[in-house]
Amino acid sequence: MTYGWALLVIFIVIAVLYFLSQGFTGGERCTFSNPGLACDNPNVPLFKGGAGADVGTLKGKIVNGIGKGIYVYEIGCTADTSKNPGSSALLSTQLTAASVVTVNSAIAPQGSLDMATLNLKCTDSSGIAYTAASGLAQGTDYHGSIYVLYRNSDDPSTACTAAGNYCRVAKASLVVKAQA
């Protein structure tokens, strides 16, 4: 075998491995950067596309695998990459108000929070909420982030309203196809 054929075989193997690493879901994913929180199986929340009052809403679950209870204050969803909320203030003061819902709910260890009951609407890259008129076409990829403002149940503070009171922000990278 010549060097040309060997290079061709290596290139084909690398290409196959790359495409297999993308998964069979077309690259859809919801991955939290901090350990313990996860999106429900199959790790992709449903994203409502098309038109209608609920366009842009997420329908999946967030699972608490931290090993202790947590208390969730707010959840936000945006494709605006200029935003990088920290734990120094409420998400509603750092993201577009349309993309944040107040939760105020405890999640037990290994428990989950159903986003379908929250009516969490994601915003586009300009921070503008999708509407029935400006809906995301079905089958179109949505690239954004989910932010969860929470505290551990054993933290001494009981409120997430100012800096230094045990609040945490978990971020998940989100790539989903808009569905009917």
One digit per residue, the tens of pLDDT, for the chain of length 180 reads 688 888 888 888 887 776 665 544 456 788 888 888 988 754 455 777 666 677 778 878 889 998 899 988 889 888 887 777 876 677 877 888 778 888 888 899 889 888 878 888 888 888 887 776 667 777 788 888 889 988 888 877 666 665 556 788 888 888 887 777
Position 19 in a domain = no
What pLDDT, on the 0 to 100 scale, is given for residue 25? 47
Position 8 in a domain = no
Position 79 in a domain = yes
Alpha carbons 75 and 2: distance in angstroms, whole number: 57
Position 13 in a domain = no
Position 17 in a domain = no
Residue 4: exposure state from Cβ atoms within 10 A (0-12, 13-18, ≥19): exposed
Position 15 in a domain = no
Position 12 in a domain = no
Are the CB atoms for 10 and 32 separated by under 8 Å?
A: no
- Nearest-CA neighbor of 59 among 50, 70, 49, 51? 49
Position 4 in a domain = no
What pLDDT, on the 0 to 100 scale, is given for residue 157? 65
H/E stretch holding 3: helix 3-21
Q: Which domain holds residue 46?
A: 28-179
Task: Please give the tally of structural domains in the chain.
Answer: 1
What pLDDT, on the 0 to 100 scale, is given for residue 161? 60
The pTM for the full model equals 0.77
